A = this chain, B = another copy of it.
């Protein structure tokens, strides 16, 4: 790759169902030059997150879809390569939203300076960043776990789920994780210290989940849906809270969902019979009220060794499409980030 060229990934076609690598196109463009008041960012890490599946679809959503030919959005950790902005200097490490590309211009807005002495900068994309705050906000604002209650979270080895379970334990609740396969399950139980873990790939998954939750479920942090929801639903206690954070099992579905049977009536009936609360949220809902508090608390928990994380690092922007497709199928193990070649 030439030093004067900016490699970037644009949306080639809107995926229907499972994205294909051909839905993404690599382009080379000249490295842009910052004008007065601008700075040039060089991407070090690109975050890959499930929400991007929505953004490349044309489903009605919280944000407009990415257009064909546009660079895919994404959170990044970047180094300021050139600055013509008074507040920023060459060499500053920042959290940015510069997307799937090597270089990007910025006017300095929406950047946050990172201090590598506090934590590795890539954690700003994970445990100390959007996924960590998603877990924190959704669990504490909506889930409101009380000591002794049972909190269940799926994708428990992932960027959000791992933080949900650990904070649940910090708050005195019992954390039950759901993960795919023995390796992830062992990590969730042994490294993260969840009270129990259940493998959703097991043929007797629903039965095992019930056994892991002898007192039922008080909080279910929903980031999967699909057959996990079907197993959780009959275990929810009276007044259970369900923060709806993600639906990764559905993201590749079309707008009208799957075939029958119709699972809505059963869900509605259980919501009614047991006074259950389902509440969807976007992490931005909580930013004003709780982001500073999250940063402070999470850094403290990390310092005390109470909040652990795991990264799944993919080398090179060239591998981003394939890694993203794998993310939607649960093939990553930990927070998925792409490290761009120096």
Contact = CB atoms under 8 A, between A and B. Distances in A.
A266 B225 CA distance: 11
Interface residues of A, number: 43
Q: How many copies does the complex hold?
A: 2
Contacts of A285: 275
A250 B272 CA distance: 12
Contacts of A271: 244, 278-280
Interface string A240-284: 000011110010010111111111111111111111111111100
Contacts of A247: 265, 268-269, 272
Given A250-B268, A265-B250, A61 B273 contact: yes
B265 A275 contact: no
A59 interface: yes
Contact of A265 (B54, B257, B261, B274): B257
B250 A269 contact: yes
A275 B280 contact: yes
Contact of A246 (B258, B272, B279, B281): B272
A56 to B, nearest CB: 15
Nearest to A257: B265
Given A273-B62, A279-B275, A281-B275, A263 B266 contact: no
Contacts of A282: 272, 275
A246 B267 CA distance: 13
User: What 10 A-B pairs have minimum CB-CB distances, sorted nearest first?
Assistant: A260-B260, A257-B265, A271-B280, A263-B264, A272-B280, A277-B279, A278-B278, A250-B265, A264-B264, A258-B262
A264 B275 contact: no
Interface string A37-61: 0000000000000000010000111
Nearest to A260: B260
A260 B255 CA distance: 15
Contacts of A266: 255-257
Interface in A199-218: none
A76 to B, nearest CB: 24
Contacts of A258: 260-262, 265
A100 B274 CA distance: 26
A128 B255 CA distance: 43
A54 B273 CA distance: 10
